[in-house]
Chains A and B, each alone.
Chain A
Amino acid sequence: MLVDFELIERARSGDDAAFNQVVQAYRKRILGTIARLIGRPEDVEDVGQEVFLRLYYSLDQLRTSEVFEPWLYRLTVNAAYDYLRRQRRRQESRMSDLSEQAVMLADAAESGKKRDEEQRRTKIRELVDSLLGKVSEEDRILLTLKEVEGLSLKELEKIYRVNENALKVRLFRARQRVLKAYEAHKEKPDDQEV
């Protein structure tokens, strides 16, 4: 826990200053998670504000402060899921945006070494984004939380409120799909290995 239970209790009872402190403690972590879940740096703050807005209006539904973190993650997952669902309709424009963004990032790099490193990172981001694009939004989020964010099955159980076995099955299937897409990507002769 990044904050103590007492602060969460105060925020729950309507103390805006306490809520501000909670946001300030968690915003970096949540923004990072959102960035990796949605893969669009320019929209991270917008989705982040949506998460904390939902938190503000749902804090009174929180049973105990102990379940605050899974609760916050659930709000994050839902907001990211809503965003990805909205974005699915604009997927074509997204691809052009991404390459534009990659060019901009590359241009912004000052030295050659920095540019190479940034290009490599951009390539990784694009590759993982495209691989995760092969599975549904739900599976993309679940896989990212497990494989990238490093959440344990116990933590995921609390977030999703489903049993461990069901999660394992879903994770296995999602991972298999991504693995298949990754193998197909590697077999393409014109693609360079990252």
Chain B
Amino acid sequence: MRDMTTDQSGDKLDRLFAEYREACPDPEAGAGFMPGLWQRIDARRASNVVMLRRIAQVCVGATLALTLLMGAVLIPRFERAPVYSTTYVDTIAADHPNTYVDILTGDIK
């Protein structure tokens, strides 16, 4: 009995859906539909360009800040601990003390 009632309700529901389909026909788009759509497309395109520009600005700013920071941190460190504390000539002279004296006195053999 219950199944029969459910079946009947199911049929009625099917009819109701069909009537709903008829009660909601496909509407015609208004005159402003296409211009409105293109306006939204252009607005999205413009917002994408603005966003890309903003990302580019942020990237440039971050790169600049990083460069300055690296400069501020690394340059004083290099200045404090130079790699070569003596000149090239001093180093060679230290390795060859006799030759150095000979060169200075003009007594090269």
Is residue B70 contacting chain A, with contact meaning CB distance below 8 A? no
Name which of B18-26, B55-63, B94-102 contacts chain A: B18-26
Is residue A179 contacting chain B, with contact meaning CB distance below 8 A? yes
Q: Interface extent on A, as a size class?
A: 35 or more
Can you give 8 A-B contacts (C-beta < 8 A)?
A: A31-B27, A49-B37, A53-B40, A128-B16, A128-B20, A179-B10, A182-B9, A186-B9
Is residue B74 contacting chain A, with contact meaning CB distance below 8 A? no
Within 8 A of B (CB), among A114-173: 120-122, 124-125, 127-128, 131, 147-150
The residues of A with any CB-CB pair to B shorter than 8 Å are: 20, 23-24, 27-29, 31-32, 35-36, 41, 44-45, 48-50, 52-53, 56-57, 120-122, 124-125, 127-128, 131, 147-150, 175, 178-179, 182-183, 186, 194
Among all A-B residue pairs, the 8 with the closest Cβ atoms = A32-B26, A121-B23, A128-B20, A147-B17, A124-B23, A49-B37, A36-B24, A28-B26
Name the contact of B24 in the complex, choosing from A49, A125, A147, A194 (C-beta under 8 A).
A125
B16 engages A127 (CB within 8 Å): yes
Cα A53 to Cα B48 with chains together (Å): 14
Cα A132 to Cα B24 with chains together (Å): 15
B37 engages A35 (CB within 8 Å): no
Closest to A29 in B: B26
A182 engages B37 (CB within 8 Å): no
A183 engages B9 (CB within 8 Å): yes
Is residue B34 contacting chain A, with contact meaning CB distance below 8 A? yes
Name the contact of B14 in the complex, choosing from A24, A28, A147 (C-beta under 8 A).
A147
Q: What string of 1s and 0s marks CB contacts (under 8 Å) between B55-88 and chain A?
A: 0000000000000000000000000000000000
Cα A120 to Cα B22 with chains together (Å): 11
B25 contacts across to A, CB distance below 8 A: 32
B81 to chain A, nearest CB (A): 55
Name the contact of A182 in the complex, choosing from B12, B28, B32, B41 (C-beta under 8 A).
B12
A177 to chain B, nearest CB (A): 11
A120 contacts across to B, CB distance below 8 A: 23
A29-B26, A31-B27, A124-B16 known; 17 new pairs, CB 8 Å cut-off, are A27-B33, A31-B26, A35-B27, A45-B36, A48-B29, A49-B33, A49-B37, A49-B40, A53-B41, A57-B44, A125-B24, A149-B21, A175-B10, A183-B5, A183-B6, A186-B9, A194-B16
Is residue B13 contacting chain A, with contact meaning CB distance below 8 A? yes
A53 engages B44 (CB within 8 Å): yes
B97 to chain A, nearest CB (A): 76
A194 contacts across to B, CB distance below 8 A: 16, 19
Is residue B30 contacting chain A, with contact meaning CB distance below 8 A? yes
Name the contact of A45 in the complex, choosing from B10, B17, B26, B33 (C-beta under 8 A).
B33
Cα A184 to Cα B44 with chains together (Å): 46
Cα A23 to Cα B10 with chains together (Å): 37
